[in-house]
């Protein structure tokens, strides 16, 4: 039987053909039984594609003609353990940073490690390292699932994030900086409600979402504790703001945080001044009402408003003082609380519980900053005890 040949007289293999426009074609059937075609202008290049296809078929690698976007969407469908607010946030951020890009529309079978690196580099021109790490958080696990589904051989996003892990760590305020900030903020022209929320973070170590989600029912004045079993989240999308109350991300986030005498007194005074205002509008968010830190209409105050307030106070202070204060955020206040507690020698397991972490290593590695002054104080203390 005479073998088929191309226009140059080369013998074609089974499944190969040459089109009238000169392009070569290879026809095959994938593992799902679908007939597929690949093309190339060069026969040798086509046969390299054939080799990869047949190797995939031999190893049971299924059809991988899905885009990064389709891969992520499939990944989100199987993530049954995500809370509603978290799921909405993931989809929102993926759509914002990835979906309409060349990378989002690229077939996962064609994504190389260099593509991932190039995409991250492009994004880093306008986005912070923390945002690149967030983007990686969506891309890497979706591609890992594709590996487990035998859609691709290996994850091209492996080890692609290391260049974006060197961001400046959050530092706690020193005792002196904390005093200067609070003294200046007391006389600042506005934001007393925000300042109280900041003081509560400094006195309890609560996350900003936990603070803004506190209701009056969460305060146990008799036992001096704050019940933390939820957090306020703001999900922006479609030109509107959605307010939500969600559970903490982990079971360790559910806890009763002790109030110091100072925090207790502040909460007592705040309740006298604002309790009826917080309740009179009957505002509720996901069934919760009576928010301790609220707007004039009874809604929870927005976390980003507190951060904006902090930025304005620091900017105003630095414009009028030679001894500059560092840039701070709500997270800085939580960080500062944890550092002060560690310096005072609180039991590590107790600190872990108060911070709401599943392991003390997280608390120690992420939140505790050993300052030069504290190290010297501890050194002197040991010497005096010797």
Q: Which residues of 180-217 are buried (b: 16+ CB within 10 A; e: fewer)?
A: bbeebbeeeeebebbbbbbbbbbbbbbbbbbbbbbbbe
Active site residue 384: no
Is the separation of the CB atoms in 109 and 179 below 8 Å? no
Question: For residue 130, with 0-12 CB atoms within 10 Å meaning exposed, 13-18 middle and 19 or more buried, which class applies?
Answer: exposed
| Whole-Å CA distances, 241 to 72, 82, 156, 236, 257 | 25, 21, 36, 5, 30
CA distance 147 to 57: 15
Catalytic residue among 331, 353, 360, 374: 331
Active site residue 334: yes
Ranges of H-type helices in 36-128: 43-59, 68-78, 84-94, 113-124
Say whether 303 sits in a helix, a strand or coil.
helix
Give residue for tokens 């397991």.
349
Question: For residue 146, with 0-12 CB atoms within 10 Å meaning exposed, 13-18 middle and 19 or more buried, which class applies?
Answer: buried
End-to-end CA distance of the chain: 99
The secondary structure of residue 99, as a DSSP letter, is I
Catalytic residue among 89, 123, 207, 255: 207
Catalytic residue among 230, 334, 335, 340: 334
Catalytic residue among 74, 249, 256, 271: 249
Active site residue 331: yes
Is the separation of the CB atoms in 338 and 357 below 8 Å? no
Is the separation of the CB atoms in 358 and 370 below 8 Å? no
CA dihedral for 272, 277, 280, 284, sign (positive or negative)? negative
| Whole-Å CA distances, 277 to 67, 139, 159, 303, 326 | 52, 45, 52, 20, 35
Nearest of 57, 39, 41, 59 to residue 49 by alpha carbon: 39
Active site residue 270: no
Residues designated catalytic: 207, 249, 331, 334, 357, 367
């Amino acid at each position: 039987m005479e073998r088929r040949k191309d226009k140059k007289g080369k013998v074609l293999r089974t499944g190969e053909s040459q089109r009238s426009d000169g392009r070569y074609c290879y026809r095959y059937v994938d593992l799902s039984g679908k007939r597929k075609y690949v093309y190339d202008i060069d026969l040798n290049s086509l046969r390299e594609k054939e080799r990869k296809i047949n190797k995939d078929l031999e190893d049971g690698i299924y059809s991988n003609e899905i885009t990064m976007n389709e891969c992520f969407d499939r990944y989100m469908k199987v993530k049954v353990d995500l809370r509603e607010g978290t799921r909405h946030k993931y989809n929102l951020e993926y759509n914002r940073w990835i979906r309409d890009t060349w990378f989002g529309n690229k077939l996962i079978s064609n994504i190389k490690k260099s593509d991932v690196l190039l995409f991250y580099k492009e994004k880093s021109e306008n986005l912070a390292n923390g945002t690149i790490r967030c983007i990686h958080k969506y891309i890497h696990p979706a591609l890992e699932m594709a590996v487990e589904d035998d859609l691709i051989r290996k994850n091209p996003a492996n080890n692609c994030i290391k260049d974006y892990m060197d961001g400046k760590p959050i530092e706690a305020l020193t005792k002196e900086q904390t005093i200067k900030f609070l003294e200046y903020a007391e006389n600042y022209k506005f934001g007393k409600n925000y300042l109280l929320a900041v003081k509560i973070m400094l006195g309890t170590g609560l996350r900003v979402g936990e603070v803004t989600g506190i209701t009056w029912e969460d305060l146990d004045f008799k036992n001096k504790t704050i019940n933390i079993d939820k957090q306020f989240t703001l999900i922006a999308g479609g030109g509107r703001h959605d307010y939500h109350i969600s559970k903490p991300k982990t079971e360790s986030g559910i806890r009763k945080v002790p109030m110091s005498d100072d925090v207790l007194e502040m909460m007592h005074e705040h309740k006298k001044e604002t309790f009826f205002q917080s309740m009179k509008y009957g505002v509720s968010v996901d069934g919760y009402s009576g928010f301790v830190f609220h707007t004039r209409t009874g809604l929870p105050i927005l976390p980003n408003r507190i951060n904006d307030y902090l930025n304005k106070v620091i900017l105003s202070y630095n414009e009028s003082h030679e001894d500059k204060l560092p840039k701070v955020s709500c997270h800085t206040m939580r960080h500062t609380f944890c550092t002060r507690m560690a310096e005072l020698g609180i039991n590590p397991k107790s600190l872990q519980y108060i911070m709401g972490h599943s392991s003390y290593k997280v608390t120690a590695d992420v939140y505790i900053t050993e300052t030069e002054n504290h190290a010297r104080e501890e050194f002197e203390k040991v010497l005096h005890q010797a």
